[in-house]
Amino acid sequence: MSKSEAPLLAADGMPLKEKLARTTRRMKMRAFLLTVPLVLFLLVSFVLPIGQMLYRSFHNPTGSNVVPNFAVAIKDWDADQGIPSDDIVKILVEDMAAARKNREVGKTIGNLATRVNYEIPGSRSLFTKTARRAGRITEGPYFDALVKIDKRWDSPHLWRTLQRVTNDYTIAFYLAATDRKFDESGSIVQADELYRIYLPILWKTIWISALITALCFIIAYPVSYLLSTLPLRTSNLLMILVLLPFWTSLLVRTSAWIAMLQKSGIINNILVYLGIIADESRIQMIYNITGTVISMVHILLPFMILPLYSVMKTIPPSYMRAARSMGASGTYAFTKVYFPQTIPGIAAGTLLVFILAIGYYITPALVGGSDGLLISNLIADHIKKTLNWSLGAALGTILLVVVLVFYWIYNKLVGVDNLKFG
């Protein structure tokens, strides 16, 4: 090997190429180890909870936990028969008698009664009454014994429902979340008009979020333009005023709006004092959609101002002066020269505000009343009050899908690569 073909060596005698590869691997490993805490944090606090929510939305083992033997026996039953055989009914009676004595959490007859009540409202009493007498049924025909306890057992719809609720995997909660249900024949139909609440509230959540985003943009754009054009000392002082509410507790800001917007609040008192409205015509601005929109615009406004300001600050003022010197009017120069350069900030601000607004919970819960509640409040209600976690998870999954669809559309129209947050 000639001298020119000999490999280059490092100071320790190792070939330079091998030394460089080893150093690169060491740097990659060090970088990976530095990111491990963040990866674990995201996995524990973000990925796993969302995965659990997705899984719980279609997995509900309540029925099989309470009547495990009956769940196995009725799994392959042909629902077209109307009523299962007496052998299957016997297994149900024995499981209900055992569940009546069970005190283990999640395996009592009350859990089964609640689960069936989601599908057939008003059926809870049927199971609690039957369970109390199931231990006395010692011989067949078992079906006749159940009908003697309550005539509702003679309904094929009830047995089809039992077959569904004892299956661990179901789409029933997604049907309920989209205002649908299984009818007596097992077909999917629209829910009764009284129970069609989730889709209207979902659409209301979307348009309220869009309205809040639009109002934040209308208010934030001139404010951001003013901050970006003023001298640094003045703009910093005004920026403190913009961020001051941002540093205040969310509950304090929301409570302040409750005091200001109520009929005897500050705003109504000022309007009455100025003679704009009569004392008996005070405006109801709280515990409705109006209160929700006003308070959420105030809370989310900084999230629109900051991206806009960060982009506007980088636009040289000479661009506008050059356009004016070329004969363009102020409006034409603004729309053709200045405004297009602020689109990345507009895109970032609107996306941020819309996603925050569509999932907001605390403010609508405090100031929205029954008229201004959003879909997030229904999700929280099912998780904390009704304890219908599967329905809450289904609603949460649908909300997640809606956000992802809007994000995909936004990416197609604007492009995520064009967003600028500063």
- Which residue bears the tokens 């004392």? 279
pLDDT of residue 377 exceeding 70, the answer is yes
The number of beta carbons lying within 10 Å of the beta carbon of residue 99 is 24
pLDDT at 192: 85
Mean pLDDT of the chain: 86
pLDDT of residue 12 exceeding 70, the answer is no
**Distance (Å, rounded) from C-alpha 273 to C-alpha 299?**
28
pLDDT of residue 7 exceeding 70, the answer is no
The number of beta carbons lying within 10 Å of the beta carbon of residue 190 is 13
Instruction: Assign 419 a pLDDT band (cuts: 50, 70, 90).
Output: low
pLDDT of residue 270 exceeding 80, the answer is yes
**Distance (Å, rounded) from C-alpha 209 to C-alpha 351?**
11
Q: Which pLDDT tens digit goes with each residue over 403-417?
A: 999 888 888 877 666
CB 343 within 8 A of CB 418: yes
CB 72 within 8 A of CB 65: no
Q: Domain-by-domain residue ranges, the chain?
A: 62-170, 198-418
**Distance (Å, rounded) from C-alpha 418 to C-alpha 125?**
59
Quick one: which of 75, 84, 271 has its CA closest to 168? 75
3-class DSSP state for residue 286?
A: coil
Q: Which pLDDT tens digit goes with each residue over 339-363?
A: 888 888 888 899 899 999 998 888 8
Q: Which two tokens stand for residue 118?
A: 């989601």
Topology at the third CATH level for domain 198-418: MetI-like fold (1.10.3720)
Give phi and psi for 187, each to the nearest 5.
Answer: -85, 155
Question: In angstroms, what is the C-alpha Rg of the chain?
Answer: 32
pLDDT of residue 421 exceeding 60, the answer is no
**Distance (Å, rounded) from C-alpha 375 to C-alpha 360?**
9
CB 161 within 8 A of CB 63: no
Q: For 71-75, 80-84, 405-409, 417-421, which range has the lowest pLDDT when averaged over its residues?
A: 417-421
Bridge partners, residue 59, by sequence = 169
β-strand pairing of 188-190 with 180-182: antiparallel
| Mean pLDDT on 145-170 | 91
pLDDT of residue 292 exceeding 80, the answer is yes
The fraction of the chain above a pLDDT of 90, given in percent, is: 27
Residue at 325: amino acid letter? S
pLDDT of residue 156 exceeding 80, the answer is yes
Q: Which residue would you say has higher pLDDT here, 107 or 106?
A: 107
| Mean pLDDT on 164-191 | 89
CA angle 153, 158, 164 (to 5 degrees): 140
Q: Which residue would you say has higher pLDDT here, 203 or 140?
A: 203
pLDDT of residue 150 exceeding 80, the answer is yes
pLDDT at 209: 94
Name the packing angle between helices 124-134 and 86-101 (round to 10°).
90
pLDDT of residue 1 exceeding 60, the answer is no
**Distance (Å, rounded) from C-alpha 60 to C-alpha 7?**
66
The number of beta carbons lying within 10 Å of the beta carbon of residue 154 is 14
C-alpha 131, offset from chain centre: 38
